[in-house]
Structure 1
Amino acid sequence: MRRNASITLLAVGHACVDIYQGAVASLVPFFVAERAYGYAAVSGIVLAASLLSSVAQPVFGALTDRRAMPWLLPVSTLLGGLGIALSGVSGSYALTLAFVAVSGVGVAAYHPESARVARLASRGSHSAMGWFSLGGNLGFAVAPLMVAAVVAAGGLRLTPLLVVPALVGSVLCLPVLRALERKRSADPGPAPVAGRDDTVSFVKLSFAVVCRSVVFVGLSTFISLYAKQRMGGGAAAGTAALFVLYLGGAVGSVLGGGLAGRWGRVTVSRWSYLVTVGAVAGVVFVPGPALYLFVALTSAGLYVPFSLQLTLGQDYLPTRVGTAGGITLGLTVSIGGLVSPLIGSLADAMSLRTALAPLILMPAVSWLLFRTLPEPTVPPSATAARQKGDDSDGALSPAPPDHR
């Protein structure tokens, strides 16, 4: 199987899984309308999904560092979809909470191992990893449309139909896993030297990702309301701002991989965060329709480093790539999301503009942290293995070092 075909299948599968991350928040209005859940009840549902999805990822990452678990891709995809599909079947709040939590566990189990498999299939290509990340971003963005199309037509009783993307995603990953297994069986090759873990750089990277998450989660939570205030429009003004935020992220994910191939991941990420400082300032302070331009620049600036940070984390912890993926994709995002209630409280006490102004500092902190990070070097044996994969007509190369 050629590299592009493998990454395409994995990217679509990634989209199918991340649909269920976005589906939880999309179901909230229907839970309120049909079951009269209060704010505390729906907050509990969202919290159950987000915390389990994010905090459990490092746990699954540590497990996959001990033993390769490619079977987690189809199983966790089905688990993520099944939980959301069953969430609307029972009127019991406890069961709804349990089903959403099951979906969160499925999402958590998927990401560390899928990141390892995607990196193997990409053979070190930053551009290919960018496409893999794009799949997840698109899945998250499509979730509100899918939920509205299904549930608005017939209510929560139709949520079992939401399992369809999970069925598709679980099937699409199978050819990639079979090709990987055939390649390993035919030519296992010597295990490349992993190199040493650079824990200090990984911790700095993690703090930079937390700052990035604070900005993106804060804007995605409040940009609709802010756009309505600034533009003096109705719901359409807020919806447009949110759409631009997601669209800019999709563009940034693909752009980051291409730029990193030319200038390096650390350099591209550093400059991207510097640009984002000005873009967030524009969102907060520049009036009129220019708001949408700065929202797009902010989103692209935040997502250019997205896939680059994943591979950087894996290179800083070459003996624990599963743990690195779980932390950069999961735990740091969860920590960033905890700041949203603080932004909301400040907005209630003062104004939404005042509450969003501190977000300007977050990409500046990420920029400062990236100024201290080195560009990881690939061990010679790993470089040879990668070159061997490139010479095999696109077949998947032997696994990168993970010392399971």
Structure 2
Amino acid sequence: MLNDSMQAVVPALYTILEDSLNLSLAQVGWIGFMLNMTSSVMQPVVGAFSDKRSLPIMLPIGMGLSLIGMLGIAFAPQFWYLLFAVVFVGLGSAIFHPEGSRVVYFAAGGRRGFAQSVYQVGGNAGSSLAPLMTIFIFAPLGQIGAVWGTLFAALAIAVLLGLLPWYRRKLKEWETARAQAAASSAAGNGGATLVQRASHPRVKFAMGMLVFLVFARSWYHAGISSFYQFYLISDYGLTKQQAQIPVFLFLAAGVLGTYFGGVLADRFGLKNMIVFSIAGASPLALLLPHLPLAWVYPLIAVLGFVILSGFSVAVVYAQFLMPANVGMASGMTTGLAFGMGAIGGVALGNAADAYGLHSVMFACSFLPLVGLFAFFLPTDRPKKQ
């Protein structure tokens, strides 16, 4: 929650930065791109490295980089300085997430969906604070209010330092088990199933499809979290503070959806929840741009609940496909796919400047239809004998 609260500072400042630094919507899109691309593309790299040699101290180091980024955002005098500061926040998140997912993997026991959903609930709760930060901190204080983000970083570093002894102990147990599996594989005792599973063609197809689905969802999420507030101001005549409320409802309902999605996935299956979360949101997304304001509030809350109910499930499904590469699997679903979504932020910002926000929001409403491809994912449920 603390990590994603720092990331939430950036979109929370969009409307403030647009005025203080005289930014265009395209530049707003580039800010989101730098944040998400840095935090996302680096995640599979960090995950692959930590699968071979995990360093628990990377967790507080990542938070330290985010702290530097928060200070840079607060005092950035122009657009390019702001982009540089945002990179530090992104790098800190890229280091934190794969290691954090491994901590959850160790703590989960047999309830992987539930454990990952609790972890992602923390992240989504932090992200959902963005509109409230705009209303209560950044609207009164302006850009300098980003200094408050350093408190999130300092508290997170303290929490992680307390977690390190337990994490080191669990990591040694995991490395011992992995060495035994490798030895079993070399001896021809069937251990190759665990170690080599990631190279299977069916696994590669499933991972590619999963990343593509999360990519489409990330484009839509970028449209709502970054640009829907501008759409509400221009098309519905809301103030900056009033425009934060529907966005907050979307993100806050997504927190609940993330939790219940993980719980239901343990019962009904990972693939089934992924299908429901993305494809099930399609009719709601198609309706949203055409509703009167009174109907926007309840529908966008339900939409946030449904579409984010598969957020944590996608990570667990990737870990199911690649059990010997937990860090890389987590990095690809929470990282690389969101990096692709960051490209969507830039594309949407440029399209909004060129064609208008109304046209962009209408086009975005079709993105969840991509979720129908989830039917092609292999099942994670054992076949009944």
User: TM-score under structure 1 normalisation?
Assistant: 0.78
* Residue 369 of structure 2 corresponds to residue 373 of structure 1: no
Residue in 2 that maps onto 1:24: 10
Tell me the CA shift for residue 98 of structure 1: 3.2
Change (3 A) 1:334 1:202: same
Higher deviation after alignment, 133-142 or 289-298: 289-298
CA distance in 2, matches of 1:94, 1:356: 28
Residue in 2 that maps onto 1:134: 121
CA distance in 1, matches of 2:58, 2:276: 36
8 Å CA contact 2:131, 2:247 repeated in 1: no
CA distance in 2, matches of 1:186, 1:112: 18
Residue in 1 that maps onto 2:268: 263
What pairs up with 1:247-396 in 2 under 5 angstroms?
247-344=252-349, 346-347=351-352, 352-368=357-373, 370-376=374-380
Which letter does structure 1 place at the counterpart of 2:342?
A: G
CA distance in 2, matches of 1:218, 1:329: 18
Deviation readout 1:266-301 (Å, 9 max, x if unpaired): 112212323201111121334352222221222112
CA distance in 1, matches of 2:20, 2:240: 22
Residue in 2 that maps onto 1:382: none
Higher deviation after alignment, 141-150 or 56-65: 141-150
Give the secondary structure class of the aligned counterpart of 1:69. Answer: coil
Residue in 2 that maps onto 1:6: none
Residue in 2 that maps onto 1:74: 60
Residue in 1 that maps onto 2:187: none
Residue in 2 that maps onto 1:400: none
Deviation readout 1:142-164 (Å, 9 max, x if unpaired): 24544775666666566544311
Change (3 A) 1:187 1:47: closer
Aligned to 1:118, which of 104, 126, 129? 104
CA distance in 2, matches of 1:229, 1:158: 25
**Number of residue pairs the alignment of both structures matches:** 363
Structure 2 unaligned regions, length at least 5? 182-190
Residue in 2 that maps onto 1:401: none
Tell me the CA shift for residue 92 of structure 1: 7.2
CA distance in 1, matches of 2:239, 2:16: 21
CA distance in 1, matches of 2:357, 2:18: 25
CA distance in 1, matches of 2:153, 2:278: 34
Change (3 A) 1:143 1:79: farther
CA distance in 1, matches of 2:206, 2:173: 37
CA distance in 2, matches of 1:46, 1:273: 22
Change (3 A) 1:39 1:266: closer
Deviation readout 1:153-187 (Å, 9 max, x if unpaired): 66656654431111111221334332233456689
Give the secondary structure class of the aligned counterpart of 1:56. Answer: helix
Structure showing the higher helix proportion among its residues: 2
Structure 1 unaligned regions, length at least 5? 1-14, 379-404
Change (3 A) 1:80 1:148: farther
Higher deviation after alignment, 195-204 or 48-57: 48-57
CA distance in 2, matches of 1:100, 1:117: 26
Give the secondary structure class of the aligned counterpart of 2:55. Answer: coil
Task: Please report the RMSD computed on the Cα atoms of aligned residues, expressed in angstroms.
Answer: 3.1
Tell me the CA shift for residue 30 of structure 1: 5.1
Residue in 2 that maps onto 1:107: 93
Aligned to 1:180, which of 148, 167, 181? 167
Which letter does structure 1 place at the counterpart of 2:253?
A: G
Residue in 2 that maps onto 1:203: 208
Residue in 2 that maps onto 1:62: 48
Give the secondary structure class of the aligned counterpart of 1:216. Answer: helix
Change (3 A) 1:238 1:47: same
Residue in 1 that maps onto 2:73: 87
Higher deviation after alignment, 198-207 or 73-82: 73-82
User: TM-score under structure 2 normalisation?
Assistant: 0.82
Tell me the CA shift for residue 67 of structure 1: 1.1
8 Å CA contact 1:48, 1:100 repeated in 2: yes
